[in-house]
Structure 1
């Protein structure tokens, strides 16, 4: 549940309420409540603003995951597949994009402007094996470069993972991480 909660919004909400309570206490001449409201409210409000400014929202699932696929995930998913799924579906702070360091390591992000953007993901079965499909918006990196890097992607996200790269639409690339165990 906390993975789907924005700490920035939480900080802004709690800090705002405490700050307003302190402001009301100041107007009504209640020094104890005034001090507590300002002492706790202002830092929480500023912290919430800072988190909100550096917030990276979770990547949505583009297709619902069926019970069969959930069972397959429990049986076959690698630790890396689970880590990627959990990392990209929660709020992140202080990063430019999901998987930005991974894409840089793979040579798929020469500059921030050229970096593919993870726009969605879904889980499926491919030939009876669990697959986590990462959906990238990739207008500046063509499919040919993704295909050249396929073995490197396998090595990076492996062991126990086979990778396929497809282009379902123009400027979009799907990277399927398929469990092999």
Structure 2
């Protein structure tokens, strides 16, 4: 639930309101509200600004999820597939991008400028098996670069997962993590 709400925005709103109340109370000579507004409002406002600066927005679905796919996910998805889906569809803080650690360990992130960026996800049924498809913008890593790491990707996101890599457009890579039987 909290992953769907931007904590940075909440901190900015609450801190801003308390700070304004504190400044107004100072102007009207109300010491109690002045202290509460200043001592709580300004730190919460600064915390909200810090969170907003380090915030990564949730990744959107590229295709709507049907009830059949949701039932398939509930019955077949591995713990790793569930964790990836939950992590990328919520606000994250203090990271460069979604899945940055995974991409670095897979050798797909030598620098921040070269790192592929996850821009959408979708869920599919492939031959009756649940598949989580990660859609990356990958202009500097070719399909061949990804395919040479396929075995490593399967070990990293496994067990019980096979990876299918496709290139729908020139600068895009789709990594499908498919549940094995």
Hey, what's the Cα distance between the residues in 2 that align with 1:134 and 1:21?
46
1:49 Cα shift? Answer: 0.4
Residues 29-178 of structure 1 aligned to structure 2 (within 5 Å): 29-178=29-178
Hey, what's the Cα distance between the residues in 1 that align with 2:65 and 2:132?
11
Hey, what's the Cα distance between the residues in 1 that align with 2:118 and 2:138?
9
- The C-alpha deviation readout for 1:79-136, integer Å capped at 9, x for no partner, is 0000000001111111001101100100111111100000010001011100000000
Runs of 4+ displaced beyond 3 Å: none
Q: Secondary structure at the match of 1:125?
A: strand
In structure 1, runs of 5+ residues without a counterpart are none
Q: What's the TM-score, normalizing by structure 1?
A: 0.99
In structure 2, runs of 5+ residues without a counterpart are none
RMSD (Å) for aligned C-alpha atoms: 0.6
Hey, what's the Cα distance between the residues in 1 that align with 2:35 and 2:62?
47
Q: Which residue is equivalent to 1:7?
A: 7
Number of residue pairs aligned between Structure 1 and Structure 2: 181
1:170 Cα shift? Answer: 1.3
